Amino acid sequence: MTDAWATAARAQRSGRAVLLFGGGGQVGRQLRVALAPLGTVIPLTRAEADLRDPDAMRAVIERVRPLVIVNAAALTNVDQAERDPGLANAVNTIAPGIMADAARRVGALFVHYSTDYVFDGAIQVPYDEDAQPNPINTYGRSKLAGEQRVAEADGSHMIIRTSWVYSVTGAGFVASLLRDLPGKQIVRIVADQVGSPTWSRSLASATAALVQAAVRDDEVALNSSDWGVYHLGGSGEGSRVEIAEALIDALASRLAGDRPTIVPISASVFGALAPRPHYSALSNLRARKRFGISLQPWRTELHRMVAEEYR
| Residue type, position 76, single letter | T
**Residue 39 counted as domain residue:** yes
76-120 per-position pLDDT tens digit: 999 999 999 999 999 999 999 999 999 999 999 999 999 999 999
**Residue 171 counted as domain residue:** no
**Residue 132 counted as domain residue:** yes
Euclidean distance between CA atoms 282 and 198, whole angstroms: 10
Asked if 58 and 201 count as a contact pair (C-beta separation under 8 A), the reply is: no
Task: Read off the DSSP letter of residue 38.
Answer: G
Residues facing 230 on adjacent strands = 160
Catalytic residue among 139, 166, 230, 279: 139
Q: What is the largest CA-CA distance in the chain?
A: 59
Q: Which long-range contacts (CB under 8 A, 24 or more apart) does 56-60 make?
A: 57/95, 57/98, 57/99, 57/102, 58/98, 58/102, 60/19
Euclidean distance between CA atoms 135 and 82, whole angstroms: 13
Q: What's phi and psi for 168, nearest 5 deg?
A: -80, -15
Nearest to 284 by CA among 275, 274, 297: 297
Q: DSSP 3-state assignment of 297?
A: strand
Q: What is the CATH number of the domain that holds 141?
A: 3.40.50.720
**Residue 18 counted as domain residue:** yes
41-52 per-position pLDDT tens digit: 999 988 888 999
**Residue 188 counted as domain residue:** no
**Residue 78 counted as domain residue:** yes
- Enter the pTM of the model: 0.94
**Residue 129 counted as domain residue:** yes
State residue 183's pLDDT score.
80
**Residue 253 counted as domain residue:** no
Whole domain around residue 87: which residue ranges? 3-166+200-235+282-296
Q: DSSP 3-state assignment of 29?
A: helix
Q: What is the DSSP string of 173-233?
A: HHHHHHHHSTT-SEEEEE-S-EE--EEHHHHHHHHHHHHHHHEETTEE---GGG-EEEE--
What are the pLDDT tens digits along the chain (311 aa)? 355 545 555 445 445 899 999 999 999 999 999 999 999 999 998 888 899 999 999 999 999 999 999 999 999 999 999 999 999 999 999 999 999 999 999 999 999 999 999 999 999 999 999 999 999 999 999 999 999 999 999 999 999 999 999 999 988 999 999 998 888 889 999 999 999 999 999 999 999 999 999 998 889 999 999 999 999 999 999 999 999 999 999 998 877 667 889 999 998 887 789 999 999 999 999 999 999 999 999 999 999 999 999 98
Q: How many CB atoms lie within 10 A of CB 186?
A: 8
For residue 139, indicate whether it is catalytic: yes
Tally of structural domains, the chain: 1
